[in-house]
Every structure is written in C-alpha cells, then in structure tokens.
Amino acid sequence: MKGNRRRATNAIEVDFVARMLVLGFLVGMAALFFVYLKNQQHAVGNKSRLVEQELHEYEARNMALEARITSMTSRGYLQRKLDEGYIQLEAVRDTAVARITPPVSAEPDGVLRTASREPGSGVIAGAPQRILRR
C-alpha cells in the first residue's frame, strides 16, 4: 500500500506571493519618491543659496552707492565743485517761491491778531487777555 499514499507536495501560495510582490513594489516606489524629493530639496537649496548671494551682492552695491551719494552731497564736496566752477549758485527769485497762504496784514495798530473775538470763543471782548469767563 505504499503506492496509494498521497505524496506531500510543496504548493506555492499564489496569494501570499502576490501580496509580497505588491508590498515590495509599493516600498520601492516610496523609496524612489523619497529620493526624488531629496533631489528636489537639494536643487531648491542650491537655487536659494544663489539668490541669497545675489541679494548680498546687491546690498553691498547699494551700500557703496549710498556712501558715494552721501560723500557727493557733503558740504566740502559741494564747496569744492563750486570753487572749480562745475556748479553755480543762483539766488531764489520771489516768483519761484510758492506761498501756501496769502500774507496776513497787521491791524491798524501794527499788531497781528491771532485770537478769536467771536461771541462763543470764551474770550470777553474788551477785557485783558488774562481774564477769562468761567
């Protein structure tokens, strides 16, 4: 009866292998995505470093220009340019002056009045300025 016995077979479990293949594929894709993100991070870091260097260069250039402007507007520099005849000074004409309010004329006694003498102002007409109605 040796021939009737069933032989032990090593069956391959297809569902287990399929699960492992899918899991391996997902882990591999996650690893590739992680590497891609790290490469992008380094690329963006390099770009930002270049932009920061350019910004520092512009700031240094701006500071140099500000120092040059300050030196060119100093009194000594302008006096030297005036002495050399490079610049000339002209007197300001009265027609070039802009007045915001018309000039105020004085009262007949020659004193400018700035206080209000209206009835509701709290100042008694004809009384010295130190006495106020309470």
- Over residues 2-26, the mean pLDDT reads 82
Query: Look-up: residue for tokens 């008694």?
Result: 124
- Quick one: tokens of 128? 């010295």
Q: How far apart are CA 95 and CA 101, in angstroms?
A: 15
Predicted TM-score (pTM) of the model is 0.45
| Residue 1 confidence (pLDDT) above 80 | no
| Residue 112 confidence (pLDDT) above 70 | no
Name the residue ranges covered by the structural domains of the chain: 14-90
Range in 8-12, 61-65, 112-116, 127-131 with the lowest mean pLDDT: 127-131
- Over residues 35-50, the mean pLDDT reads 97
Alpha carbon separation from 44 to 31, 48, 55 (Å, rounded)? 20, 6, 16
Q: What is the pLDDT of residue 19?
A: 95
Q: What is the pLDDT of residue 90?
A: 87
Alpha carbon separation from 102 to 98, 99, 106, 111 (Å, rounded)? 10, 7, 13, 17
- Quick one: tokens of 27? 């882990």
Mean pLDDT of the chain: 82
